[in-house]
A and B are shown apart, each in its own frame.
Chain A
């Protein structure tokens, strides 16, 4: 069956939710304009600071866009909407498609706005640079899209906002979004390197230097994705399986 109508209204209700847009859109954009604007001519680890910080904020915002799926899902469960959907012919595929496309649309909007803001602040990046950065970020967001769905199906509605906010902050900090690493060697660094957040942040950074992930990065992202796909299916089915 054609699910475009269902998807269209899922997108519509997501983009009308102003509160949702704050964490994933307004917050990174304002932070970029404030911090990037005051350090317009500074350099940071070999590149211009606004360029670095634009990539960092795009990473933060798009990650938040992915994880915030948890908010709608938890709300749909709490209000009984998920039960109402269980007695419709909505398929697993249409459901996951809608959730993932909605999250990616929010993420892409964040990237586009930050890109425009970056150009306005005088950021210079070649065509291939833009493509590599955005491409790697889009791939790197896959585990986060799944994580948002899993979280939405296991967490209560009241806890969803602090959980998403807390998780975004934690991942940003551990991943090094703000320009410093909590650890650069030892067991803590080993731990940080098996989290998808580290490689998501690296996606932005390495792309700016003209590279891609180390093989380790692809393996970590692949493993997280492989683990989260069945988990998302199981937690979704537990909430919605028809008898």
Chain B
């Protein structure tokens, strides 16, 4: 396989990155992906983070050329997904799928490797994915974690410029996850562009240069891991404080939203320490103060409901224009 490396290496593969423009897909009445725009530089490791139903898998299927978009386009290093896949510069690990039976692990990986013009040596990939120990076992006699490693090996053996992984650790335990990402790091450090979908913030935070947060088919946030983490790590502060104006409370440092419940208030804060300090300085009478960390799911909901509101306003406007 290595002998064919120079002959088939694609000259286009080093130019440009990944560009999704106005990507849209619906299934019946369900808008799975709504006009996504996203640009990735070659060599970036990007996490698509979002809850189930956010549109991550649909987006990934369109990147891989498995699903035809209703609108918009995908360019992989200046090529269509079909061209890039045919050129053998894309490796993918899909969310579901089992291995074919009646072959041993090494045989299966060799079979897949033979399809790629510049595949990596099979033994190297088995080693990298931690599959060497069970390389001679039948594919239908593997544990869940072992199966996942072999699926990773199949994606990796292509020696791809773009590696796409759809929830690669979904079926793994903590130890399996740790080992998976250790292998992943080695791969990413070799210069491939990596896109992976996950609903674990920790994974996105630890392994991606950049996090793209998706909810209800839209990109609701896009930035460096640290930025997204602070967004997602919003806290709520509950307190009781009679006789104060809502606008006064919203002026407190780091407070992003204020909600009234009789004499009680619920403040949303991007930095609860700063907000509480400010609160007690200005209003020493505030009492029954509780600070709660918003779980990832809540953060998604918060971001999602923002999007919903926008949609409703848009729809209302359209309705007005039409009448």
* B110 contacts chain A at the CB level, 8 A cutoff: yes
Interface size class of B (residues with CB under 8 A): 35 or more
Instruction: Please give, as numbers and ranges, the residues of chain A lying within 8 Å of B116 by CB-CB distance.
Output: 88-89
B85 contact from A10, A80, A87, Cβ within 8 A: A87
CA distance in complex: A243, B115 (Å): 19
Is the pair B111, A243 in contact by a Cβ cutoff of 8 Å? Answer: no
CA distance in complex: A79, B101 (Å): 10
A87 contact from B69, B90, B111, B117, Cβ within 8 A: B90
Q: Nearest Cβ in chain B — how far from A96, in angstroms?
A: 15
A88 contact from B67, B97, B103, B158, Cβ within 8 A: B158
Is the pair B110, A17 in contact by a Cβ cutoff of 8 Å? Answer: no
Q: Nearest Cβ in chain A — how far from B195, in angstroms?
A: 13
Q: Which of B55-95 contact A (CB under 8 A)?
A: 62, 64-69, 80-82, 85-88, 90-92, 94
B117 contact from A13, A79, A89, Cβ within 8 A: A89
CA distance in complex: A17, B69 (Å): 38
Is the pair B85, A88 in contact by a Cβ cutoff of 8 Å? Answer: yes
* A30 contacts chain B at the CB level, 8 A cutoff: no
Interface size class of A (residues with CB under 8 A): 20 to 34
Is the pair B115, A242 in contact by a Cβ cutoff of 8 Å? Answer: no
Is the pair B65, A87 in contact by a Cβ cutoff of 8 Å? Answer: yes
* A84 contacts chain B at the CB level, 8 A cutoff: yes
Instruction: Please give, as numbers and ranges, the residues of chain B lying within 8 Å of A14 by CB-CB distance.
Output: 102
Closest chain B residue to A90, Cβ basis = B115
Knowing A9-B103, A80-B96, A80-B97, say if A89 contacts B62 (CB, 8 Å). Answer: no
Knowing A17-B102, A87-B66, A243-B65, say if A5 contacts B110 (CB, 8 Å). Answer: yes
Is the pair A80, B64 in contact by a Cβ cutoff of 8 Å? Answer: no
CA distance in complex: A242, B64 (Å): 8
Is the pair B117, A6 in contact by a Cβ cutoff of 8 Å? Answer: no
CA distance in complex: A42, B127 (Å): 63
CA distance in complex: A84, B99 (Å): 9
Among B67, B90, B100, B158, the one with the most A-chain Cβ atoms within 10 Å of its Cβ is B100
Q: Nearest Cβ in chain B — how far from A19, in angstroms?
A: 10
* A218 contacts chain B at the CB level, 8 A cutoff: no
The 5 sampled A-B contact pairs (Cβ below 8 Å) are A84-B92, A87-B65, A89-B87, A94-B115, A243-B65
Chain A residues at the B interface, C-beta cutoff of 8 Å? 1, 3, 5-6, 9-10, 12-14, 16-17, 75-76, 79-81, 83-84, 86-90, 94, 242-243
